[in-house]
Amino acid sequence: MIALVDYGLGNIHAFMNIYRSLNIPAVVADSAEKLESADHLILPGVGAFDWAMAKLNSSGMRSLLDEMVLVRKVPILGVCVGMQMMAQRSDEGVMPGLGWIKGEVKRFDEASFTQQTHLPHMGWNNVNPQRTGGLFADMLSSPMFYFLHSYYFSPADPAESLALTDYNGMFSSAVASGNVFGMQFHPEKSHRAGTQLLKNFAAL
């Protein structure tokens, strides 16, 4: 059973609609009791880093999530701000992150942009997987996904960068460490490639 962590932020219903179309069992979890039996977790997120961390910390699910991810090693997929929360800190705020993957969230340096681009990074862009199979199995070698962000996850260990995307230079658009996965893009808004990725995650 996949549990979609509902702490008040994120496009929960879009994920649910995809999993219903795939006939994959999923539940919206807004309490620790509903999380307990999950064998996969999805942590969505939108908005500012500190606001998202405060909402999760006050949800009553934070301690159980830490146990499930760090002790039980339940696979978890963080999406957008949900991915950024997995870092140790963010340029966007002052609160500590979850620290599930060593690294920090940085703001794009717009002053260094040499092309006619601006923030936020919004729209479709190529994602270049650094490993074969797994979350990117059964899709094009450089699939297109939908982005909307001004900050990106910079992992401390470059080997934990699962995919790269070019936006005035390469950045980590996906990260992975053991059972912890993060996507800066929105698979729930990315049509066929996004549906395939969510299907692949359920099969991990």
Name the residues annotated as catalytic: 80, 186, 188
Residue 178: CB atoms within 10 Å: 12
Q: Read off the tokens for 146.
A: 């939908």
Q: What is the DSSP letter of 70?
A: I
Please count the other Cβ atoms lying within 10 Å of the Cβ belonging to residue 17: 13
Q: Do 113 and 163 contact (CB within 8 A), yes or no?
A: no
DSSP at 186 = B
Torsion angles phi and psi, residue 63, rounded to 5: -65, -40
